[in-house]
């Protein structure tokens, strides 16, 4: 059996998979609140309890929302560190792979089915080209997929922490607010769940509104989206509109940096919540394409939205299977 994990700043998924080509078969799935545990070892203890009779673990692959250096992954948006050597000892000596969460998610792309994606722009995919992946959730992840010997090989990135580039006077005002608040304006301060709340604060002049009144902090980004899509709050709608446009612009930036002529994929939890806003207008694609003098190149790059909510876990399982 393969133990796969998607370890995020808000939640952690652990799954047990059976080997199957090309897509491992999920046998058990468990969800945990990351912030409820002081260390990963405590979560693993609960996992063993919940699993009951544990199967023999042949390989472990964990996608972690943070950089992996020297066999240790440190969560960017929480206090944990996950150590591959400690996990290997816990598993009884099984091979262990620690991956950046977007690197893990990228391993799922070859095994996703057509109904697990929406084609936003068909483009003209180049069979020998590179690809890229971007995903907004608790943070903003990015990964490159380099074409090596005919196959796409994921490479991690911390591009979500790059500087946010304003494209209008309104966005420049947003940058100034972010600089005043954080000392600098990075992309993740806009394109993430907390980023959407930054946009809400910006469009509401620092005030709250009925959309998020009496709503738990973790649920407020979804509440802002709901208020915008239902037409209950014009300033929530402005926040969501800025978000969608900025998401398209950053996806275009990534497509250019990766020269992703085989396609660019948009995943993460937020894309599924804001899908009506992406599909209803042209804000995302217009911002994606507005990269003179590269519009013609970007028009030919396929853009796909990922609907599968567990691609990080699935990708970790795919990679875990390759360890055997």
Among 147, 243, 145, residue whose Cα is nearest residue 203: 243
**pLDDT for res 54:** 73
Count other Cβ atoms within 10 Å, centred on residue 173.
12
**pLDDT for res 275:** 94
Beta bridge partners of 31: 13
d(C-alpha 7, C-alpha 14), whole Å = 8
d(C-alpha 212, C-alpha 206), whole Å = 13
Count other Cβ atoms within 10 Å, centred on residue 274.
21
- Phi, psi (deg, nearest 5) at residue 153: -115, 115
Question: What are the pLDDT digits (tens) for 181-224?
Answer: 999 999 999 999 999 999 999 999 998 898 998 899 989 999 99
Structure tokens, 174: 């947003």
**pLDDT for res 255:** 98
Within 8 A by CB and 6+ apart from 194, the residues are 138, 188, 221
Alpha-helix runs per DSSP H in the chain? 40-51, 84-91, 101-106, 169-182, 193-203, 220-229, 234-258, 269-273, 275-280, 283-289, 295-299, 311-322
Whether residue 131 contacts residue 311, with contact meaning beta carbons closer than 8 Å, is answered with no
Count other Cβ atoms within 10 Å, centred on residue 292.
7
**pLDDT for res 189:** 98
Q: How close are the terminal C-alpha atoms of the chain, in Å?
A: 10
Alpha-helix runs per DSSP H in 98-168? 101-106
**pLDDT for res 53:** 78
**Number of H-type helices and E-type strands within the chain:** 12, 14
Domains and CATH numbers, the chain: 2-108+310-322 (3.30.420.40), 115-307 (3.40.367.20)
Can you list the residues of the chain whose pLDDT is less than 70? none
Question: What are the pLDDT digits (tens) for 7-24?
Answer: 998 899 999 999 999 999
Among 323, 322, 263, 319, residue whose Cα is nearest residue 108: 319
Beta bridge partners of 29: 15
- CA torsion through residues 97, 102, 107, 112, sign: positive
C-alpha separations of 318 from 28, 107, 233, 300 in Å: 15, 6, 43, 29
């Amino acid at each position: 059996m393969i133990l796969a994990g998607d370890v995020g700043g808000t939640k952690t998924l652990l799954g047990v998979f059976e080997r199957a080509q090309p897509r491992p078969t999920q046998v058990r799935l468990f969800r945990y609140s990351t912030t409820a545990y002081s260390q990963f070892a405590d979560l693993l203890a609960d996992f063993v309890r919940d699993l009951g009779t544990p199967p023999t673990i042949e390989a472990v692959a964990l996608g972690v929302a943070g950089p992996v250096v020297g066999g240790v992954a440190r969560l960017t948006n929480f206090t944990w560190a996950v150590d591959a050597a400690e996990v290997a000892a816990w598993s009884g000596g099984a091979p262990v792979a620690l991956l950046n969460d977007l690197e893990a998610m990228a391993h799922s792309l070859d095994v996703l089915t057509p109904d697990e994606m929406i084609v936003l722009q068909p483009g003209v995919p180049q069979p020998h080209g590179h690809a890229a992946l971007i995903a907004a959730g608790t943070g903003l992840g990015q990964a490159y997929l380099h074409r090596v010997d005919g196959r796409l090989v994921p490479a991690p990135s911390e591009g979500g922490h790059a500087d946010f580039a304003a494209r209008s006077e309104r966005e420049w005002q947003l940058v100034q607010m972010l600089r005043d608040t954080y000392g600098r304006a990075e992309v993740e301060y806009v394109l993430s769940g907390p980023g959407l709340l930054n946009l809400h604060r910006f469009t509401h002049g620092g005030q709250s509104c009925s959309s998020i009144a009496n709503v738990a902090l973790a649920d407020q980004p979804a509440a802002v989206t709901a208020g915008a899509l239902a037409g209950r709050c014009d300033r929530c709608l402005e926040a969501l509109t800025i978000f969608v446009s900025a998401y398209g612009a950053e996806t275009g930036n990534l497509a250019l940096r990766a020269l992703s002529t085989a396609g660019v994929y948009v995943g993460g939890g937020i894309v599924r919540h804001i899908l009506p806003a992406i599909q209803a207008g042209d804000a995302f694609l217009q911002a994606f394409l507005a990269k003179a003098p590269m519009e013609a190149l970007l028009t030919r790059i396929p853009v796909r939205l990922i609907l599968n909510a567990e691609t990080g876990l699935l990708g970790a399982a795919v990679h875990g299977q390759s360890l055997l």
